[in-house]
Chains A and B, each alone.
Chain A
């Protein structure tokens, strides 16, 4: 069965609105969750590492005020794209892990975000 639930799977909204994407760990308490962005025909680009109860760690070049991450519990992390614009349109994927480097990441099914 699914280990990770990511919602919504597809969202279309107008430019200037904010969009929230949820990532839930279903099978275990995830101390660490990751948020990725993926462009067509490209690999995953890590945006940020989300740790429960602390601030997210953003990768270089990722605007933390644009992409707000909240990891309020061991099973839920959210990514909010604030004041979204067409250039934010992309495929966003979350993953969960138990936090050790020898543990695999388990991925959600992704969210297709389209900003008109």
Chain B
């Protein structure tokens, strides 16, 4: 069955420290992968996406993610976290032939310590 797992419900990092948010997927074919960020009371904003090609993708706000087929992972990274990065982060996989339907992970809440 298709699924997305974000093992960490809540992560706290210090401002300026590096960040890695984990995402594992289960999908029968090459996946289309997305990372979204949600600030409290807001909709979701697309950070980056992977379809094919270079397995390291760059996104907005200094984020990047690496697709590792052997590990079924698509972890999100940022070298230096800012206080404004505190938010909920969702990993998602696009379901083929279903009009753009997404399967979301449970989300990871990021807190940033000053």
- List residues of A whose CB falls within 8 A of some B CB: 4, 6, 31-32, 34, 41-44, 46, 49, 51, 91, 93, 95, 97-110, 112
- List residues of B whose CB falls within 8 A of some A CB: 32, 34, 36, 41-46, 49, 51, 90, 94-102, 104-107, 109
Instruction: Give CA–CA (A100, B102) in the complex, Å.
Output: 11
Cβ contact within 8 Å between A110 and B104: no
Cβ contact within 8 Å between B43 and A108: yes
Cβ contact within 8 Å between B46 and A106: yes
Closest 10 CB pairs of A and B: A97-B100, A107-B43, A107-B44, A32-B99, A109-B43, A101-B94, A101-B96, A102-B32, A43-B104, A102-B51
Cβ contact within 8 Å between A44 and B100: no
- Inter-chain pairs besides A34-B101, A34-B102, A105-B44, 16 sampled, C-beta below 8 Å: A32-B99, A44-B104, A99-B99, A101-B32, A101-B94, A101-B98, A103-B100, A104-B34, A104-B46, A105-B100, A105-B102, A107-B36, A107-B43, A107-B45, A109-B42, A112-B41
